[in-house]
Structure formats: C-alpha cells, structure tokens
A and B are shown apart, each in its own frame.
Chain A
Amino acid sequence: MTVEIIGTYATAILLLIGSGFVAVGVIGLLKFNDSMTRLHAPTKVGTVGIGALLLASVAHSMVLGELSMHELLIMAFLFVTAPISANFIAKVNIHLRSCETPPSPPLDDTWATLNAPDDGEDTTQGAKSA
C-alpha cells in the first residue's frame, strides 16, 4: 500500500517536472532570435524532459506491480543521439552561414563545412547532375 502511494506521488511529480522542461524548451525554440540560441533550448526537451517522463513510466510500472526497466533503454538511446543531432544542426547553421561564423580552428584556415569543394569532388558532382 505504501509502495503504491509513494510510486503514485513519484509518478505525478516526475510528470510535472517533465512537462515543465518540455514547456521551457518549446517556448525557447519559439522565442529566441538567433539560430544558434534556438538550438540551445530544445535539447533540454530531448534529454531532461523526456527523461523525466520515462522515469515516471518506470515509477508507474512499479505502482502496477510489474517493475519494468525497458524505459531506461530509450533514455540511454536519447542521451547518446541528442548531442549528435544537435551537432549536425549546428553544422547546418555554420554551412548555411545563418549564424555568425565562429572563429577559425587553430590548425586550419576555416571550418571544413565552409571549404569550397575541391576539383575531384566537384567533377563527380557535376558528372552526376549532368
């Protein structure tokens, strides 16, 4: 009985925490005024917000009497893939010059995604399109 009550309270509180982070992330996605700053907010939705909702699901399965840890698998997957997709989107922003270009890396003269394609790359692209 007490386990059920504690689990129900934990589920409700984790759901509220998750919904708070989802709201903050989505409002940030809508309200910020620069592409790179807009990238900052929704990563919280993917990690903390959905993580809290999945932990709430674990707590609720404990209430129902059959404890399942499968949700931690989704959490691990999201924690691994969220930085990768954020990195790709930041690279798209640098590539399209939709943000202020960050200072050049110390060993190269510019960022790799801003380099004009070399002749080998260029001929294959041209041959493919022609």
Chain B
Amino acid sequence: MIAAQGLLDIALGVVFVTLVLGQFLSMVRLVMGPTSGDRILALDTMVINALGLVVVLGIKQGVQIYFEVSLLIAMLGFVSTVAMARFILRGDIIE
C-alpha cells in the first residue's frame, strides 16, 4: 500500500507539471501562431488542458464535486471553439 501510494504521488506530480507546461506551450502557439486557425486550435488545447487540471485536482483532493466543473468546462470549450470558427468562416455567429 505504501509503495502504491508513493507511485500515485509521483504520478500526480508528473501530471501536474505536464499539464501546466502544456498550458505554457499552447500559450506560446497562441501568441505567435501565424494564422487564426492556429490561434483557435491553441485556445481549444488550453481549454482541454484546464479540464485535465480540474480532473487531476479532484483526484488529488479525493472529492467528487469537480465532476460538474469539468463537464461545464468541456461544454463551454466546445461552444466557444465552434463560435470562433463560425465567426471567421461566416463573419457572424448566429445568422
């Protein structure tokens, strides 16, 4: 049990570091991305990474209440990605 708990702690640390590093690298792509498609893609990846951070935080604290938060973040991320793509494609979101 002690070894398994130690492995879980190490894995949690690795996941946190990877997700935060992923947020920073996506932010670099968001700032320097040559086209609007790259910027939308970087924002979508940042939303996905934030969702992962919330899920891993729920695992670390051992509580279930972060489920609704992550579901809401997933829905808002999808809607915002589609809205930005629609705005570039059509010049309008709801025609």
Across the interface, B41 reaches (CB within 8 A) one of A9, A29, A57, A125, namely A29
Q: Are B48 and A42 in contact (CB under 8 A)?
A: yes
Q: Are B48 and A23 in contact (CB under 8 A)?
A: no
Residues in chain A near residue B78, CB distance under 8 A: 77, 81, 84-85
Residues in chain B near residue A9, CB distance under 8 A: 4, 7
CB distance from B36 to the nearest CB of A (A): 6
Residues in chain A near residue B86, CB distance under 8 A: 88
CB distance from A11 to the nearest CB of B (A): 6
Q: Are B29 and A18 in contact (CB under 8 A)?
A: no
CB distance from B42 to the nearest CB of A (A): 7
CB distance from A12 to the nearest CB of B (A): 4
Residues in chain A near residue B94, CB distance under 8 A: none
Residues in chain B near residue A15, CB distance under 8 A: 8, 11-12, 14-15, 56, 59
Binding site for A on B (CB under 8 A): 1, 4-5, 7-8, 10-12, 14-15, 18-19, 21-22, 25-26, 28-29, 34-38, 40-42, 44-45, 48-49, 51-52, 55-56, 58-59, 62, 64, 67, 70-71, 74-75, 78, 81-82, 85-86, 88-89, 91
